Structure 1
């Protein structure tokens, strides 16, 4: 962890302390929620995207996950939250890339009237086949607010540091700017989301430095099924990566274009359980043959919430 990130963490801690309620404040009670899920999926091209490795072979996987959140209103205008997520993927054949990921997060949100502000911090630790693989810190201040009755906007700056075990050349820092626009056609029952992100990643090795422009379009629709709300989400994501130095293997600068389409359907079974079905297709177009491939992913998941 660099000195700049330590300073940012200290600043976040001081903000939390300064926002703590005084003797005259009336903070709300803490609220807790959690969910656990189990599912299976088929991946047509088992890959590890962080290190540009694709097997060009398919495999079945068992997925297990757990998520927990606690939140508390410190006052009428300030709310804090902490989250923990655990996910585990077990492949039938590709056990060497069995993945376990832990994500710790915290968020401080302040309602200042027409515009809300806040800052979030995430720590991610991922292991492959039981061995340390990825460690990432992510700090993001943000602003959001309604532009009108149906339109909502959110903007954020993201600073991240990542390190990959046994591959120090891929250790990197990232600066990103994000903007999202939402149109609520029928409130949360039916809405659109369009987003843009600019990302500048600087790695230890010059050939891995890149700048990227990303777009996303999402549509979320909730509808009644047996007196309960089901949810359909359709999404398209595009990323254009422009690497800033030549890649020795191809003798020129690498250029990646990535299209991802995804459809998710969630159908409630009871008040606390639901079944999810999903399909995604990725088209990774690159002048670097290792990262030029396609991928299909289809799966199902049973989730319990409380």
Structure 2
């Protein structure tokens, strides 16, 4: 359920700002579609949203589709919207089969070299074809152009999680974050570092926590063997302190991805992720590694 930590649009907005220094001309509408098919291996099949791990490994078939649109309404005003769906079907662990749908709307406005914006996300997750979790999330953010090659993006985020059958887990979440981005190589490379503080209040106070965190990502786009490629590596660490118990968790996730563009339409994507979810609560203490290989078609 990595969707609950996902930040869309940031990189694309930053890349546009870096490459042009200003918005593109007004009244331009762009549409993009992507479809992916592939396989994922998971060393410990689990439901991260409720810290439930099976202790068993399995492989799964992945099917993904994504549609996005952007409208440069004026030289200052930009609107983005999108919808995506992900189906994950395991070979054996059918109880963990997942369908995740996400829709979002983002609006941003440039004030000189700086940008202010707001977005809204709605996500629906099904587990083994049964409704599992609904997420509504709204954010306010700004994008501060601090020099020729670096930006700062502070944000405030409010979220509501509603579980279909585990109502004690229903939660309201507030988070504050700041990310800094440094670009080089005419925007082909960037390094980002961010701090985040999260406060989640659940129906059952046993699950309420506060969590400071750190995240970092390095991205490099390049051409080799006459193919355009992109390599990304990242890491996230958060410390969860629970409010009514002696429980304390440390979540550490490292990831890497490599995209090889065969031509403007087709690409091969490889991914790796390792998560260490340490907890003083035995059932929430587990580790997992995921690897995936996907074929992407873009139109």
Alignment of 1:1-306 (within 5 A): 27-246=26-245, 253-306=246-299
Number of equivalences: 275
Offset of residue 27 of structure 1: 5.0
Uncovered stretches (5+) of structure 1, i.e. residues with no partner: 1-25, 247-252
Q: 1:27 to 1:190 in 2, by over 3 A?
A: closer
The 4+ residue runs of structure 1 with deviation greater than 6 A are none
Of residues 219-228 and 256-265 in structure 1, the stretch that sits farther from structure 2 once superposed is 219-228
SS in 2 for 1:96: helix
Offset of residue 139 of structure 1: 0.2
Q: Distance in 2 between matches of 1:277 and 1:29?
A: 33
CA-to-partner distance for each residue in 1:75-123, whole Å, 9 max, x for gaps?
1111112100100000001111110011010011101112200100000
Q: Distance in 2 between matches of 1:74 and 1:68?
A: 19
SS in 1 for 2:263: coil
Q: Distance in 2 between matches of 1:289 and 1:263?
A: 28
TM-score normalised by L of structure 1: 0.88
CA-to-partner distance for each residue in 1:112-142, whole Å, 9 max, x for gaps?
1122001000000010111000000000010
The Cα RMSD (Å) is 1.1
Q: Distance in 1 between matches of 2:128 and 2:113?
A: 48
Q: Distance in 2 between matches of 1:278 and 1:79?
A: 31
Q: Distance in 2 between matches of 1:151 and 1:141?
A: 20
Uncovered stretches (5+) of structure 2, i.e. residues with no partner: 1-24
SS in 1 for 2:283: helix
Which residue in the other structure is 2:17 paired with?
Answer: none
CA-to-partner distance for each residue in 1:51-79, whole Å, 9 max, x for gaps?
12001110000000000011112111111
TM-score normalised by L of structure 2: 0.90
SS in 1 for 2:152: strand
SS in 2 for 1:148: coil
